[in-house]
Amino acid sequence: MPQLPGLLKGLGVTARTAMRTLFPKRGIRTLIPAPQQGSVTVQYPHEKEAPPDRARGVIALHEENCTACMLCSRSCPDWCIYIEGHKVKAPPRRAGGAVRSVNVVDRFDIDYALCMYCGICVEVCPFDALFWSPEYEYSEPHIADLLHDRIRLSEWMETVPEFLDYEPGSEQKVRKVPEFGIDDFAPARKLEADGARELASGAGS
């Protein structure tokens, strides 16, 4: 039957925690109650928790780098990436060059209602077109709205943090996140402005 020590120790633990929560400050200010600092909870809608930089929150698409190679779509375990693309002919980069054949992404959708956030797509991408962003506030009242199209995915690029430095002893190279500006939305339009063509005039439709 109960003896005192264990029971009293338990009361001590809860009391100590309450004191630490209520009066977290040290020194002379110990007497000022500041539960806001003492508690470990985050008052979510009022303040936002910052996940680590590597957190897999949402996938961002750098469309300029995407060649619609389908690797991500094919390696996705959930079949939640939908890509469509077509080829265009673009003028050479400099005088004397040959006409380039460029892949243009028509559709790049990720269905976050299906996504399991495994990151395989980001990993297999050979052209640095997909990145993880720690952003997490994109819940939707309608499940269909969780399908992010390429514009929405490109918008996430702004929230992609720089890659972290490694601990000493590592042989990994720190990668770079490509610069991303407002011009980088819909690179197909930029290509078109440069004179790229997808169908010969007169041959279309």
Partner 1 sequence: MADGTGDERPDDQMGDEAREALAAELSELLGDAVVESHVEAGQNLWLRVDIEQWHAATTALRDAGFAYFGFLSAIDWTDAPEGRYEDTEFDAAGAGEDDDASSATAEETVRRGGGETRFQLLAQLHSPARHAAVLIKADVPEADGAPASVPSIIDIFSGADWHEREAHEMFGLVFNGHPNLEHIYLPTEFEGHPLRKDFPLLARAVKPWPGVVDIEEIPPELEAQLEAEVMAEFEASGAGA
Partner 2 sequence: MTGALGLAYWAETSIKLGVALIVIPTAALMLGYLFLLKMMAFMQSRLGPQDVGPYGTLQLIADAVKFLQKEDIHPAAADRRVFRAAPVVVLASSFLLFVVLPTGPDAVVENLDTGIFYAMAVSSLSVLGVLMAGWASANKYALLGGLRAAGQLIAYELPLILAVMGVVIQADSLNLQEIVRAQAEGEIFGFGLIGNPFILTQFIGFLIFMISAQAELTQTPFDMPVAETELVGGFHVEYTGFRFLLFFMAEVATAFAFSALATVMFLGGWWIPGFDFDAPVLNVLGPVVMLVKILVVAFIIFWIRFTYPRLREDQLQKFAWKVLIPLSLANIVVTGIFKVVL
Partner 3 sequence: MSPPPTASALREQQAYVAAQAADARVNVELDTGDMTLNIGPQHPATHGTLRIACQLDGEQVISAEPLMGYMHRGYEKLCEVRTYPQCTTLINRIDWLGSFANEVPFILAAEQLMGVEAPPRAQWIRTILFELSRIANVSLFLGDMGVQVGALTPVFFAFRDRERVLNQIEEVTGGRFHPNFDRIGGLKDDIPRGWIAETHAVMAKMRGFCDEMEDLLMGNEIFQTRCRSVGVIPGDVALSYGLSGANLRASGVDWDLRRDANPGLAWDQVDWRVWTHPDGDSFARYWVRLQETREATKIVDQLLDGIPSGPIMAKVPRIIKVPAGEAYVSTENPLGEMGYYVVSKGGLGPFRVKIRTPSFSNISVVPWVMRGTYVPDIITILGSLYFILGDIDR
* Residues at the contact surface with partner 3, assessed by CB under 8 A: 1-3, 5-7, 9-10, 12-14, 17, 40, 51-56, 75, 77, 116-120, 123, 132, 164-172
| Span 97-136, contacts to partner 1 by CB under 8 A | 99, 101, 103
- Taking the least distance from each CB to partner 3, the nearer of 130 and 196 is 130
- Regarding 201 and contact with partner 1 (CB under 8 A), the answer is yes
Which candidate, 114, 113, 110, places its Cα nearest to that of 122? 110
Q: How far apart are CA 69 and CA 134, in angstroms?
A: 25
- The answer to whether 138 touches 58, Cβ cutoff 8 Å, is yes
- Taking the least distance from each CB to partner 2, the nearer of 37 and 103 is 37
- The answer to whether 188 touches 104, Cβ cutoff 8 Å, is yes
Q: How far apart are CA 136 and CA 142, in angstroms?
A: 17
Closest distance to partner 1 from the beta carbon of 72 (Å): 9
Written as six digits, the tokens of 102 are 């460029």
- Judged by the rule CB under 8 A, the positions of this chain that interact with partner 1 are 68-70, 73-74, 76, 79-92, 95-96, 99, 101, 103, 195-201, 203
